[in-house]
Every structure is written in C-alpha cells, then in structure tokens.
Structure 1
Amino acid sequence: MVKSYLRYEGRLSFGVISSLDSNITYDSSGLHLLVPALDKLNLWNLRKSLPLKSFLLPSSPSASPSVSAVSASPSSHSTVASGYSDGSIRLWDTEKGTCETTLNGHRGAVTALRFSNTGSFLASGSKDNDVILWDVVGESGLFRLRGHQDQVTDVVFLDSGKKLVSCSKDKFVRVWDLDMQSCVQIIGGHHTEIWSMDVDHEEKFLVTGSADQELRFYQINHDVAADSVGGNKWEVLKLFGEIPRQGKKYRVAAVRFNKQGNLLAVQEAGKTVEVYRVLDEVDAKHKAKRRVQRKKDKAKGGAEGGENGEQVGAEVVVKASDVFKLLHVLHAKNKITSVAFCPVVQLKGSLATLAVSLNTNMLETYSIQTDQISNVGDVDLPGHRSYIRSVKISSDGTLLMSTSHNAVKIWNPSTGSCLRTIDSDFGLCSSFVMNDRYALVGTKSGKLEIIHVGSGSRVEVIEAHSESLWSISLTPDGDGFVTGGGDRCVKVWKYGMSEETDNKAKHLTATNVRTENVGDDVLAVSVSPTGKYVAVSLSPMSVIKVFYLDSFKLAFSLYGHKLPVLCMDISSDGDLIVTGSADKNLKIWGLDFGDCHKSIFAHADSIMAVQFVRNTHYLFSAGKDRLVKYWDADKFELLLTLEGHHAEVSCLSISSRGDFLVTGSYDRSIRRWDRTEESFFIEEEREKSLEVMFESDFENSYENKYAPKEEFPEEGSVALAGKKTQETLTATDVLIDALDIAETDLKRMEQHKEEKGGGRFQPNILMRGLAPGDYVLQALSNVQTNDLEQTLLSLPFSDALKLMSYLKEWVLNPDKVELICRVTTLLLQTHYNQLITTPSARPVLTALRDILHERAKACKDTLGFNLATMGHLKELMSLRSDVPFRDAKAKLLEIRSRQSKRVDRQLMDVKENRRKKKQKTPTGEAYAGA
C-alpha cells in the first residue's frame, strides 16, 4: 500500500520591517507609509508604530517574488503599484486590501515605478533595460520603449503625462514623447551611472544624481515645438548647472523633491541625506545679485565682469547654486536604504517630514525645520537588526525565542507579535529550560546567558567557554545540559538556584560539573533521549565522535563527511542520528553500531540545521540554498520542499507535537510552517514538482532563449508592452477549445435543421446552456485585460478567422463594444497580410467595416453625453453649495444698508435741530461761540 503523508504549508511570516533593495513611499493622504518587506507590502501608521495592512501575493508552489519598487497614485488615496523581482507589477486597492490587476511585461526585476499626475498612466523601468507605459484605467500595457543599454534606474513624467524622462546605468538620460512614441532627446555628460532623478511640482527643474561629485540640474522647456529659434527645437531639458555634493565618498542613491517643491533630499549610499532649500525666483535673483556684488568687490576695481562672462551692469544670470541652498545634512545611525517625503506637513513649525528606512531593519522619521532637523519617531521593535542565528519553540508551543547579534526576542508564534526584547551579546544557540520559565543563550564571546522569560530580563551571565559557544543540548533527566564551544571543550552543567544580595530573589543558575577537552573545535553537540550518548561534531576533522555521557569514553566515531558537520540531531527513540554538513550532504546513521544508512545530496549549499519530528523518523533540513526540505529517514525519500525565504536559512525549530515548525533566515524574517490535514503521495508530489519546474523554465525555453535577438535594440524603438507567460498560453488554449466546441455545436445545429427531424436539439452540455457565440464571448471576456494582447498573438490564423466571424454579432451588445474594437484592431494588425489575401475573410471584413465604426461612434457619443451631463450636474451642485453663502452676503449687505440709512437719518435730525436752535437765539454768533 502506498504511504501518504500530511502536507506542511507556509502560514505566517514576520520579523521584517523594511527590505534592503526597495524604496518606501507615502500614500497621497500622507497618513500612511508604504514599506516593502520582502514579498509583502505593509501599510504603516508611523504615529502608532503599527502596520495597518499587509498586501501579500496568493500562495504558490514556488517562492513568492520580493517587492522591488513601490509607487502611490497622486490622484487616489487607495491606489498603489508594486513592482516585483520577477518583472510583474500589481495594482492594489489599499481600502479593500485586494489586488486589482497584475501587469506582466518585464523580463527582469522592476527597478522604477512612477504614476502620472492624473494617476491614469504608470511608467515602469526594469533590469531588462526597457521602459513600459501602462494604462491604469484600462489595466493594460500601451507600448514598450527601448533604447537604454543598461538597467533603467528611474522614470518621471513631464507636461501632464505627455513626455517621459528615463535614466539608466548607461550614463544617459532619455526624453520620450509619448504621443509620437519616440525618443526626442538624449542627454549625456555624466561620467558614472545615473541612479535617480526627480522633478519639482511646478516642473521647472529636473535633478539627476549619480556617483559623480556633483548634482546636475536641468531646466524644463515645455513649449519645445514653438521654440525653434537657435539650438535644437526638441530640446526639452537644458543644463542649468551643477552643485558639488557635501558627501563625496558614496554615490547618490535617490533624489526626491517634497510635494510643495521647496525642499530637495539627496540620499547617499551611506548614512547621510543632504536637504536643500529651493528658493523662489525673487530670493534666487537677490542671491545672484549678492554673488555678483561680492565678485565685483573682490576684483577691487579691476576689469568689470562676473563669473562666466556676466556683466555687472547687465541683467544678472541666476545659476543652480542660487536656487538650491544646502539647509541640513541628516546623519543616521546606520546605512540608509530609502527616503520619502510626507506629502502633507504634519508638525507645526516644520517644513516637511522625512521618513527613512535603514539597513538595520528599522524606520526613522525626521522633522525638518529651518534651524534644525530632529528625530521624531522610530520603528524597530518588531524585528532584529541583523540576521537571525537561532530560533527555539517552547515545550507547549506558545512562545518562540530568536537570537541575533545584539538582542534576544520572545515572540507569539501564532500571531507574530513581539512580546519581549532583551539586550544580549551575539546569540549563536538557545533553549528553553525549567518548564519554559527560563531560557539559555550561548553567545559568540563564549558566555552563557540565563534569561527570565516572564520578566524579560537577563538574570545571570556565566563565563562558560573561552571561545564561541556553538551548541546547547539538554539532558533528558531535566537536571542539566551540555555545551560545546570553539575552545575544544565539551562541558556538562547542572541547574541550581541562586539568591541576589539586594532583594533576596531566587533565580536559576548553572554549575559546571564536568569539562572534557576533545582536541578540536566543537560545532554541535547532541544528547541521546536515553541519556546514554552525547554526539560531538569536531572541526576541521569533519568527524562526529559519540561518547558515553556518564564516563565520557569514546563509543565510536562517524566518518564520511568531507567538510565540517554544522548540525545534527538524534531521533526520539534513539535509533537514528542525522548530520548536515558544509559539503551539502545529509547523512543518516544508526546509533547502535554507528553505520551509515544513507548519504543524500540534499541541498545546493551548506546545510545549516536539521531536526527530527518528535516520535517519528521524519526530519526537516534547512540550507543556504534558501530551501527547507522534509524527509522520510526510513525510506530516504524527499517528501516536500518548502520555499519562501529570500536568503540563506540559518536555523529551524519544530514544536513538540510536530504540528508546526519555525525557520529563521539571513533575510531577517521568521516563517512559520503549519501541518495541514491535506494528505499527499510521493509520486504525485514529484509530478507537481516537474510541472512547476517546466513552468519556471518557460522563460528559458527555446523560443525565448535561443531565438535571434538584437545585441542592442534599435535607437528609440517601440515594441509591444506585454510578454508571453504561462497564463497567456493557458488563456489561448481555453479560447481555442471554446472555438472548437462552438464550431462543432454549430455544425450539429445545421445538420439537425437539414434532417428536419421532429426531435428536440440537444446542445453540448459543456456550453452550460449558452449559445455558441455567447460561449465564445464568455471565454474571451474571462481573459485578463493585460493578457489579451499576447493571447491573441498566440492564436493561429485559422482560429483568428473563426473568432472574427463572431465579431459582427458581439458588437451589437453595447457593453462589449470597447472589447470588440480592441480585439478587431489586434487581429487586423497581427494578420493583416493574410487577411487581405484570404477570400473567405472579405465578407467578414466588409461587415465589420459597415457596422463597427458606427457602433464605436455611438459608444463614443454616449460617453461624451454622460461626461457632459456629469459636468453639468457638478456645476449645479457647486452653485447650490454657494447659495447659503450668497444669501448670507445679501443679508449682510442689507443690514449694512439699513444701518447706513439710520445713521444718515440721525445726522440729518441733528443738523435740523441745530438749525432750529440757531434761528431761535437772538444772536447767531453768540450761539455759535457758546
């Protein structure tokens, strides 16, 4: 009988705050920060230091690609684009938390993403040297711009999305006219690779950053067609000047303007960010005049003139140094990987807020003021600052401990939340003891640290070894443990309780009861479940020596590995011992006679960790090839391969019940893999792995790998945006099957009519009660918008002709006019030469010519009418919103007029009374004097 096994699947990933090779950015509201974390995209609220949402790709048999670039739409708070290392781009709705569409076009990792100002277009650059323009509304690629000879590093839109500027590692900046789909300007002059560029909000200046010691600034000419007097009329960018950078040790990693356009941040590939103040036109001219005046004073009455031919008496020429003034230099604690300006001013008295991601897996927020720059917040608790060296699950499976170079963290393995952070030395190994109340940590300095888990405090530090303490193994009686270190010693310890002198509180301590010198560095120790043996891995001898634990006499030695054994474990019944080595081999030994049962070439790189599932002969191994593998030690069969980590897997730990395991990696992530109720068979798993291998090798197939390609693309050439993928091929097969089924059903219907039988026609059950045309239309509508182009390109001409025969019927449906127009255009462009020479295609083309233009015009008129109606309604609503204001204003004017009339009437009464009194007095002069 064929044996079945239970499957393990990835359930949770945590511990990563920000990736090392991607940018961060704010959404358009400025309330949330988008931070890539390997294959996830997290939405952070920096005020609360909490991730609100995580956007993760659906699970797949292979490892998910990592996020390599991210951009937020300036016109929508909820639209975000993320580029991945496999060349795909995904549009996310942050409010719904769903992926709206997937755009496939690049053959290399996406390195640059930028939305247009309206948010309707998206430009992407990649390691395949191409730039692709995407229609966000139509969810499809428009065209591919080719011309760069190296990786595209950044892109930016100009003239409200009419032009596009791209820079590359080939040291050139290219300006593309998107209406003409051609390159109109190529800018050289950089001596090294260009890494970033940006444009201010008014599109006056464009700045580029490279490894040169200067920043280059360009003025943007928006009316190039009318500017034909002198020079090149297509000169969109004109060199404005250069400014020397303060830090010249590292290259420029990124340049970014804030949304207001008054600040410019220049991030270096080090620990500094230079912040420049962008002066307005008046201040820039004033600064230029002072510069010329200083030049004149320095000349002391010499030849009248200024720099670069400036005349003092003439109009002063403003330079780049007059517009951009260095304001601050931000010095971070560690290397900076990305920066992002907040689009809104969050703090009173602050010019802007700058978010910074560091290579130590943390985020920092700075407030930029006129006189200083200050740190206003950090996000560092949910992750380690360096790679994870060891993980350990508690006996009840409710706690998880991980160690790194400066801290020990206690996690909740069910939720991934960090419960405790304890300062520590570089922890190489760890273990829970005393019913999970305490934990032991062996450090690189040879110290043994005892941690109280409940309080999260380090209660004692013991000088255990003079060199690195590499391994800890608990004794089965629960009274002690065994350690091995780089000082060639194996030590046996016993537990004890100690009292502190201050508060007389008792805590756990350990006493060394035996020390044995084994002659070589000890890399791993493991005590058998019976307590009879202790296995010791020695380096550089690459041998495992098994000693009797009580007398420490040598029982036998295990020879066979060619490189040092880095890890080992003994099964629960004490029958088997498994060893993993730097020679990539996994060896299974019998612990009774020391014979090698099987040697397996297990991983493509060094094996870092192995462990048996308790009470079984199943085991897991982890290696530097980023894989975790599940084995049957009795049948010597590979059961599963778990992919997910993006760097070397350094450690693993399995729960006592075997229901889940946890792995730690150099990518600073901790992943949890759960055992499911789904059973599988070895043969089926092998077939699936072959299918996955075939799909993954599709890009390297004969058509893509060995087809003749240009060594360098044609200068400024344009190509199709999409690419052929497994999804497009599957969609093509489904469409061909639908055409065949529909054609067969139509023939059966005609045959039934010719026979004139009285029986009822029985349609094909596969069509689910639909008419042949509706069935094909449903199959065509199910194709993703971005994959439609490549799907139709893969369609043979005979099937394309069948598809065109249905277009006349479909175009009568008002909801499908746009789709039918696109399908017709693509088929005509693809099969034009064959269509004009095929007589059977003429009736179809004639019918489409008569009806398609009319239906498209009617659809266009409907859309125009709807847009005009919406504009009219908007105007009416704006007028209604102004009514209360206008009424209040009218009332105020009326009140003021009444008050003025009342005052005038009172003045008139006063004058009349004076006149009457003056007439009654005998002498008017005396009354006036009085």
Structure 2
Amino acid sequence: MVKAYLRYELADSWGVITSKSSVCYDRNGKYFFTASLERVSVWDVKQAVLVRSFIPPPALSGKASREVTCIVSSPISNQIAAGYADGTIRIWGLESWDCECTFSGHRSAISALRFSTSGALLASGAQDCAIVVWDVSAECGLFRLSGHRGQITDLAFLEGAGQGRLASGSKDELVKVWDLDTQHCCQTVACRGGEVWALDVDFSQKRLAVGAADSELRVYAVHAEADEDVLQEMGSVKCTATERAGTVRYARASDGAALLMRQGAGKVTEVWRVRSDAEAQKRLKRRRKRRKEKGRTGKKDAGNGKADNEEEEEEDQLSAVDELELIATIRSKHKVSAAAMAPPTGRRAPSRLVLALANNSLEVYEIKENNYEKTDANTATEVSKLLAIDNHGHRSDIRAVTLSSDDSMVLSTSNSGVKIWNPRSGACIRTIESGYGLCSLFVPGNKHAVVGTKEGTLEILDIAASTQVASVQAHSGPVWSIAALPDGSGFVSGSADKEVKFWEWDLVVPSDSESDQEEEEQDSENDIDEEEGGSKKNKKRKKKNKGKAASKQKNGSQAPRRPQLSIAHSRTLTMTDDVLCVRVSPDGKLLAIALLDATVRVFFTESLKFFLSLYGHKLPVLSMDISSDGTLLATGSADKNLKIWGLDFGDCHRSLFAHNDSVMSVAFVPKTHYLFTAGKDGVVKYWDGDKFEELLQLKGHQGEVWAMAVSSLGDFVVTGSHDRGLRRWERTEEPFFVEEEKEKRLESLFEEDLGREDARPLVLGPDGGVVAEDGTASVGGTGVVPAGKKTLETVSAADAIVEALDMASTEEERIEEAMAEAQRKNQKKDDSRATDGGGGGKNSAVATVAPNPLMLGLSPSEYVLRSVSQVRGSELEQAILLLPFTDALRLLGYLAPWLRRGAQVELLCRVATLLLRVHMQQLMATPSARPVLTELQGLLRSRVQSLKDGMGFNLAAIEHLRRVIADQGGGGNVQGAATAVLPLKRKLEASK
C-alpha cells in the first residue's frame, strides 16, 4: 500500500522590512508600500506599523513566487502594481486587499512600472529590453515595444496636448519617446552621462528630468505638439552625490509648488524646488546681466566671435539652473536603495520623504520650507528625521535559528545582534546587542540563551532584561557549533581552534568591583547621552553618585548580591582539524564531531574514547543531526550530498544528492526518522530517512538558507536565510503521496520549457506575421507581437476551452441521436395507425434526454460560454493563441448564437477579434467559414452599437445628475442626487 504523508506549507514569514527594491506612497499619503521579498508590505504613515502584506497566490505548478522588484501606485484609484523577478505583474486593490489581476508578458525581472495619468494604462519595462503597455480595466496587454538594447530602467507617460506618448530610459544610454497610437519610436536622445537610470515628467507635462550614471541631473523641455523633436535639452544641474542616480521623481509641496527629488545609489538624497515661471525669468535676467558685465572687457577676434555668439545664444535661453533650486540634502548612515516623496496632506504641511535603506530599515524625513526668498538656500529648509523603522528585522543575514523547549520563542542571530521572536505571530519580542552570532541555544528554563560568536566568545543573554549577562572568551577561533547535553547540566562547543570544550552551568555572585565598574560604565553612557542637557543634570547626577558612595560606605558589604548565570569549563577534547559541527546523542552516550577534513568522528561522551570514523564526503560536513532513538546520523556537506549513517556500526545507509549547492542545515523531526535539509540553493527539503526518498520541496526563500530549527512536536519548522527573512513552515492535515509531488515537479519543468520557447526572438515572417527566428511557432499574419507570454495557466485555460468544446460536441451528438430515435418511433406509430385504418395522428413521442451532470445541467452552448468566460482577461489572448485551427473554427461557430442572445457582448467581441487576427489566412482559405463571418459582421456591429448607445445614455444621465446637483448647490449632497433622479423616472414611466 502506498504511504501517505502530511504536507508542510508556508504559514508565515517575517523579518524583512524592505528588500532592495522600490518604495512608494498611495495617492492619499495614508500608506506607503515597500517590497519585502515576494510580499508587498503596507505601512501606516502616522503609526509606523505594518498594516497588511500582499501575498501572491500559489501557482498551479506549486512554484514559489519570486521577489518584488518594482512597485508603483495608481494616481486615481486605490490600486498598486507590483512587478516580480519572474516577469509577472500583479494589480493589488487597497479596498479588497486582494490580487485583482495578473499580467504575464516579460521573460525576466520587471525593472520599471508606470501608470498613466488616468490610471487606465500601465507601462512595464524589464531586463529583457522590452516595453509592454497594458490595459488595466480590460485586464489585457495592448502591444509590445522593442528597440532598446539594454535593461529598461524607467518609464514616464507624456500626455500633454492630448498626445499619447511614452518616454523610456535604458542602460543602453538612450532615452526613447514612443508614439502609442502608431506604436513606433518617434525620437531617440543619447544621454551623455552614460546609462540612464531614472526619469520623470512634471505635473505640467512640460519638463522631463533624467538621472544617469554621472553626478548631473539633466532636464529636457517637452514639446507635446511636435511630431519628431519632442524632447529638447535644457542643460543640467550638478549634484552633491557622485554616485549614479537611483530614483528621480517630481512631487508637489503643500503650497502647490513642484519639488524634484534625486536619490543616488550611495547615501545622499537631494531635493530641489522648481521655481515658478516668473522666478525662473528673473533668475535668467540676473544671469544675462552678469554675463554682460563680464563681457564688456574688450572685443575678441573674428574667429572666436562666432563661437562666443553661439554660447551667448545658449545662455540667453532658459536652462535647468534657472528653474531648479537645491533646498535639501539628506545624508543617511547607510546606502539608500529606494526613495519616495509623499503627496501633500495639508495646506502648510511639510513635505515628507521615505528612504528604504540597504540594511533592511526605513527612515522618514520631514522637509520644512521657510521663507526661502529672504534667506539662504542652506538655512531656508529644515530637515528632520521623523522616525526610523528598524526593529522588525536584522541589519544583516541570519546565521543561526533556535527554538525554545516549549516552542514559544525563536532566537535568531546575525552580525547586528540577537532577536527573540514569537514564532506564531512573527512579532519581535526582544532585541539584544551581541557579537557576530554563529550558533545559539536556549538555557533550560528558557530565561537565558547562549550565543557562540565569530570572535570566539560565548555570550550569555538574559531574555527578560534584554541584556548580556556575561561574555566568556571560550575559544581562540570562531565558535561554529554548540550542542546541549541531554541531562541539562551544560553544553558542548566546537570551534575553528580545533578544540571541543565541555561547559557546565554555574551561578556566580558578582563582586563589588564588577558591579561598581558596571555602574560607572552606565553613568558614563548616561553622561554621553545627556551632554546637551546642561549643567543642572550633571550636578544632580554628581549628587546622586555621592549618595550612592556614602550608602556603600555605610552599609559595607552587607548588601546582598543577586547571583547571575555563568558557565564553567570542565573538559577539553583536542582534534586534528577545525571543528565545524558537534552533536550529542539523545541518550548522552555519543558525541559526533564534524571536522574540516570531511570526516565525522564519534566519541564516547563519558570517557572521550574514540568510537567511529565516518568518511565518504568529498567536502567538509557543515551540519548534522542524530535521530531521537539514537540509531541514525544524518550529515549534510558542502559537496551537496546528504548521507544517512547507522551509529551501531558506522555504515553508510544511503548517500543522496540533496541540493544544488551546499547543505547548510540538517534536522530530524523528533521521535521519527523524517528529516529536513536546507541548502544554499534556497530550498528546504523534507525526507524519509527509512525509505531514503525526497518527500517535499519547500520553496520560498530568495537567498541561501543558513539555519533551521524543528519544533519539539514536529508541527512546524523555522528557517533563516541570507535574505534576512524568517519563515515558518507548518504541518497541515492534508495528506500527499510521493508520486503526486514528482508529477508537480515535472509540471514545473514543463513551465520552464514554455518559458524557454517563449524566449526565442521573434522576426517578421514571409506572410507578414510574426514567427520565431527558427521559422516555427507562427503567431499570426497581422504583424502584431502579442503582449503576453505562454505560461502554465494559459495552457490550462486553452485546454479547458478545448475540453468544453469536445464535451459540447459529444452532447450535441447525443441530443441529435435521441431526437432521431424519437422521430423513428413516431414514424413507426404513424405507419401502424395507417395500416390499422385509423388514419394519421399527431406525434406523441418527444425526445427526452437526461441532462449531463458534467455540464452542470447547462446546454452545450451555455457550457462553452461558461468555460470561455471563466478564463481570466489577462490570459485570454494567449489561450486563444494556443487553440488549434479546428477548435478555433468550432468556437467561432458558437459566437453568432451567443451574440443573438446579447450575452457578454464585450467578451465575445474580444474573442472574435483575437480569432480573426490569429487565423485570418486560414479563415480566408476555408469556404465553410464565410457564412459564419458574414453573419458575425452584422451581429457585431449591431450589438456593439446598442452597447455604445446604452453607455452614452448612462453618461448623459450622470451628466444630468451632476448639473442638477451643481444647480442646487449640493456638491456631494445625496438628497440632491435622489431628487434629480425623479424626473428621469417619470419620463421612463410615461414612455412605457
């Protein structure tokens, strides 16, 4: 009988405040959004708390979602668009808090996103050098723009003078302007600063700011009415930061003025104020006046006069220096990965700027402008840090994860310190400063913890007080591993100094000198923190210290000292190579030590006598674990293999190729022979140690998985990764079989093959269509490149349509056979009556056909319509492209009956258009398709016209309501709107 296992699934993830991606505000400035690996985190601006996270739904193949690379908010609706590393784009709604649609059109990571001013269009650019324009309301791709030879870095819609254009910047050092009506490039501008990294257009659609690889910010004048030279260079301004540009964005100040923000790739972010037209002209006149005063020194020769005249003409024109005034320069302590300006929240409210730092933290600054006309630019603006969000995650990657004995706390270590988390909610309970922690364990009682550091120290931490109780210099090299003794008397530590040391718990009463020294250090820290407090605080502190000294002299040594937890060294075992991992068997009899020479030595714990030597790995063992019954030892090595050993004779039961990179952590599920492994390939795997089978692949981390801890009941697993995130994988009640998981992995491989097929370059075919470069996979004969791409979801949607068509044709044949059988019965009855001399009578037999339960009681036509309407709008185009011509012809035959009933006219028009675009050549050569196309021509026109008439009537009614409300002075008065509806209702009733 096939054995079933219980599935582990991702239950929660935490620890990542912001990954190295973009950050943006919503249109009201109430929330700001950050990319937290594959999630989009929503933060409340006032409370600085995490409100919600947008989690992408699981894929059909079970493939984990990739991390978010770009975020942008809609200017008019409560929607945000998030681009992912796998080329997909998801639209999230802030009202429904759900994914509204998914676009798949790129073959690589999304690098740029931008909504149009109306929010109806969304432009996306990716590392595949392509730009795709999407219709957000119709949930479909419109077209693809190709022309850049480098990664698309930024996009901006140019919608001045009613023209629909799009500006794009790329790493190929070009800025291109695209005409969205003709879908062609109308201008190409070479950027002299190198690679173009960011660009943005101002609110008046007259200026385009471009940030490149140098330290200058270039400004272009936008001539929307021009056909070719849309952009005209206006010069540049020198930036303080020497690094390349990361983000360039225009924003509005509370007084209505425009601000321009440039975030560099380093630590500097600059904000300029855009002068008004009058101020810019005034600045230009001053510059002209200064130039004339300097130029009156004498005449130059005729050869230099022409060049000087050209320079004078250039200086006489309005430039970027005249329009931009630097008002703020913000220097952060760490590199800035993204920045965003908040929309104004009030008339005199200061501007706010959020910075996403590279060390997994956020900073919010307030920029308050004073009377800049009467003061210097440096003193006219006050920049202050409002808040910093850094308690929700580590500053660097996580190196060790440990669960408490009751599974109520999880401890994680990194270069920046130790954090204690609630594994159920993901909330940070404590943050304790420490060294570079490489390993850790909880002390019995779960009130203290021990951390082994890279400096060779063992640090004892008091969890309740969030302090470090003691620090013992235990080894001369990094402490790579510590393991608790089963009897709870102490632990064992292994280090790179080739020593394994045994430690015992001890209580130590601190001496008077130690406590005095601690108080002096604390007082000195207080003095440093309160230096700006004035002399009164210092005097009070001196009096307080004198009082403490007097009380100490008076009481002597009678005051009791509270004992503190400490450790005492008991034994040392010296090895021949560096110790990488140590483990003690659950019964405490055996001690396993992994060495740098790729062997594992097993000793008796009591006598430290040699027992076994396990060799077979080609590279050092990085992690190992012993089963609860003490019979199996699992070792994970840098050679990517997992080996399972028997501890009775030291034989290798099985060697398994576990990961595509080094195996970093191995852990058995308590009281079982199931085990988990984590590797540098970012995957956590679940194994059966008895059958030596891979059960599950848990994908979700976006980096190397360094550490892992299994709960005491085995109901969940916590993993820590190089991506600074912690994840909890929880055991569910859903059973699964190994064969099913193998099929899912094959499906994921099939999806990768689809991506490789879709990645083939497209060229023009001989019939005017678009085909692959090798001449296969014709897309159609219209010359239009589809905006989407083939995915497993689109293949499944096409299969569903084909299956519905087959089932409908089978059902129609069954109905025809039943009707033919009924006619034969009626004919027999008529013949029998005629022979009997009774004369012909009416046919009484009626064809009765039992409904097909698989079709949900629907007719064949209704069932096919239901299957087509269930396909997502973003996947419909690719699903139609994947249909064979015979199935497309059958689907085309159903359109006319559907249109006669007037059902889902918009969907049917889109399906008919797609079918004609894809199969036009074959339809023209098929005689049986001509009557269908002729009928569709009239039906489509009439149905679309009636739909337009209904929409026009509704728009006229809405306009009438608006005018009535405006005449009544109600503004948004609901009573006025209700009163305005009454005349329309009366007219409709009278017409009836």
Distance 1:677 1:851, change over 3 A: closer
- For the pair 1:390 / 2:456, whether they are aligned, the reply is no
- The corresponding residue for 2:773 is 709
Judge conservation of contact 1:182–1:718 (CA < 8 Å) in 2: no
- For the pair 1:166 / 2:168, whether they are aligned, the reply is yes
> In structure 2, the residue corresponding to 1:377 is in which secondary structure?
strand
Distance 1:357 1:129, change over 3 A: same
- The corresponding residue for 2:830 is none
Distance 1:255 1:702, change over 3 A: closer
The two structures have a TM-score, normalised by structure 1, of 0.90
Cα distance between partner residues in 2 of 1:882 and 1:640: 63
Q: Give unmatched runs, 5+ long, in structure 2.
A: 370-380, 516-559, 763-770, 776-782, 826-844, 974-992
- For the pair 1:795 / 2:883, whether they are aligned, the reply is yes
Instruction: Quote the offset at 1:91 in angstroms.
Output: 1.0
- For the pair 1:466 / 2:476, whether they are aligned, the reply is yes
> In structure 2, the residue corresponding to 1:384 is in which secondary structure?
coil
Q: CA RMSD in A?
A: 2.5
Of the three residues 571, 580, 583, the one matched with 1:526 is 583
Instruction: Quote the offset at 1:17 in angstroms.
Output: 0.5
Judge conservation of contact 2:167–2:177 (CA < 8 Å) in 1: yes
Q: How does 1:395-414 map to 2 (within 5 A)?
A: 395-414=405-424
Cα distance between partner residues in 1 of 2:647 and 2:817: 77
- For the pair 1:374 / 2:384, whether they are aligned, the reply is yes
Instruction: Quote the offset at 1:754 in angstroms.
Output: 3.9
- The corresponding residue for 1:833 is 921
Cα distance between partner residues in 1 of 2:774 and 2:279: 51
- For the pair 1:658 / 2:714, whether they are aligned, the reply is yes
Instruction: Quote the offset at 1:312 in angstroms.
Output: 8.5
Judge conservation of contact 1:295–1:306 (CA < 8 Å) in 2: no
> In structure 2, the residue corresponding to 1:821 is in which secondary structure?
helix
- The corresponding residue for 2:904 is 816
Judge conservation of contact 1:296–1:306 (CA < 8 Å) in 2: no
Deviations 1:390-424 (A, max 9, x none): 00011111111101102111100001010111111
Of the three residues 558, 562, 568, the one matched with 2:624 is 568
> In structure 2, the residue corresponding to 1:64 is in which secondary structure?
coil
Distance 1:677 1:764, change over 3 A: closer
- For the pair 1:778 / 2:866, whether they are aligned, the reply is yes
Distance 1:564 1:346, change over 3 A: farther
Cα distance between partner residues in 1 of 2:409 and 2:388: 26
> In structure 2, the residue corresponding to 1:876 is in which secondary structure?
helix
Q: How does 1:371-520 map to 2 (within 5 A)?
A: 371-500=381-510, 501=512, 502=515, 504-520=561-577
Cα distance between partner residues in 2 of 1:340 and 1:652: 36
- The corresponding residue for 1:253 is 246
Instruction: Quote the offset at 1:306 in angstroms.
Output: 13
Cα distance between partner residues in 2 of 1:631 and 1:285: 74
- For the pair 1:64 / 2:130, whether they are aligned, the reply is no
Cα distance between partner residues in 2 of 1:487 and 1:664: 26
Q: How does 1:83-102 map to 2 (within 5 A)?
A: 83-102=83-102
Structure 2: which amino acid aligns with 1:537? Answer: A
- The corresponding residue for 1:727 is 793
Distance 1:241 1:710, change over 3 A: farther
> In structure 2, the residue corresponding to 1:806 is in which secondary structure?
helix
Which 10-residue stretch deviates more, 427-436 or 596-605?
Answer: 596-605
Of the three residues 590, 594, 600, the one matched with 2:650 is 594
Instruction: Quote the offset at 1:166 in angstroms.
Output: 0.9
Cα distance between partner residues in 1 of 2:928 and 2:287: 78
Instruction: Quote the offset at 1:57 in angstroms.
Output: 1.1
Instruction: Quote the offset at 1:348 in angstroms.
Output: 5.1
Instruction: Quote the offset at 1:600 in angstroms.
Output: 1.7
- The corresponding residue for 1:210 is 212
Distance 1:211 1:811, change over 3 A: same
Distance 1:348 1:853, change over 3 A: closer
Distance 1:856 1:434, change over 3 A: same
- The corresponding residue for 2:76 is 75
- The corresponding residue for 2:181 is 179
Distance 1:814 1:870, change over 3 A: farther
- The corresponding residue for 2:981 is none
Distance 1:734 1:478, change over 3 A: same
Distance 1:63 1:347, change over 3 A: farther
Cα distance between partner residues in 2 of 1:223 and 1:137: 28
Cα distance between partner residues in 1 of 2:5 and 2:640: 25
- The corresponding residue for 2:126 is 126
Judge conservation of contact 2:213–2:244 (CA < 8 Å) in 1: yes
The two structures have a TM-score, normalised by structure 2, of 0.84
Judge conservation of contact 2:591–2:603 (CA < 8 Å) in 1: yes
Instruction: Quote the offset at 1:64 in angstroms.
Output: 1.3
> In structure 1, the residue corresponding to 2:51 is in which secondary structure?
strand
- For the pair 1:272 / 2:268, whether they are aligned, the reply is yes
Q: How does 1:757-768 map to 2 (within 5 A)?
A: 757=825, 758-762=845-849, 763-768=851-856
Q: How does 1:177-326 map to 2 (within 5 A)?
A: 177-190=179-192, 192-224=194-226, 233-248=227-242, 250-260=243-253, 262-299=258-295, 301-303=297-299, 309=309, 316-326=316-326
Deviations 1:289-332 (A, max 9, x none): 22232333334533499996379899942211111122222111
Cα distance between partner residues in 1 of 2:346 and 2:653: 66
Cα distance between partner residues in 2 of 1:883 and 1:720: 45
> In structure 1, the residue corresponding to 2:219 is in which secondary structure?
strand
Cα distance between partner residues in 2 of 1:211 and 1:490: 52
Deviations 1:365-405 (A, max 9, x none): 01123323221111010100000000001111111110110
Judge conservation of contact 1:699–1:705 (CA < 8 Å) in 2: no
Structure 2: which amino acid aligns with 1:516? Answer: L
Instruction: Quote the offset at 1:530 in angstroms.
Output: 2.0
Instruction: Quote the offset at 1:631 in angstroms.
Output: 1.5
Cα distance between partner residues in 2 of 1:806 and 1:708: 31
Count matched residues.
868
Cα distance between partner residues in 1 of 2:104 and 2:207: 33
Cα distance between partner residues in 2 of 1:743 and 1:545: 70
Structure 1: which amino acid aligns with 2:649? Answer: F
- The corresponding residue for 1:25 is 24
Distance 1:813 1:173, change over 3 A: farther
Judge conservation of contact 1:15–1:382 (CA < 8 Å) in 2: yes
> In structure 1, the residue corresponding to 2:199 is in which secondary structure?
strand
- The corresponding residue for 2:592 is 535
Distance 1:559 1:137, change over 3 A: same
Instruction: Quote the offset at 1:44 in angstroms.
Output: 0.4
Cα distance between partner residues in 1 of 2:879 and 2:600: 58
- For the pair 1:50 / 2:137, whether they are aligned, the reply is no
Instruction: Quote the offset at 1:237 in angstroms.
Output: 0.7
Deviations 1:790-845 (A, max 9, x none): 22222222222222222222113445121222222222222222223322222212
Distance 1:313 1:362, change over 3 A: closer
Cα distance between partner residues in 1 of 2:315 and 2:744: 75
Q: Give unmatched runs, 5+ long, in structure 1.
A: 225-232, 712-716, 886-930
Instruction: Quote the offset at 1:12 in angstroms.
Output: 0.7
Instruction: Quote the offset at 1:509 in angstroms.
Output: 0.7
Of the three residues 677, 680, 686, the one matched with 1:624 is 680
Instruction: Quote the offset at 1:748 in angstroms.
Output: 3.5
Distance 1:311 1:272, change over 3 A: closer
Judge conservation of contact 2:761–2:773 (CA < 8 Å) in 1: no
Structure 1: which amino acid aligns with 2:67? Answer: S
> In structure 1, the residue corresponding to 2:451 is in which secondary structure?
strand
Deviations 1:742-761 (A, max 9, x none): 22333333444444142532
Percent identity reads 46
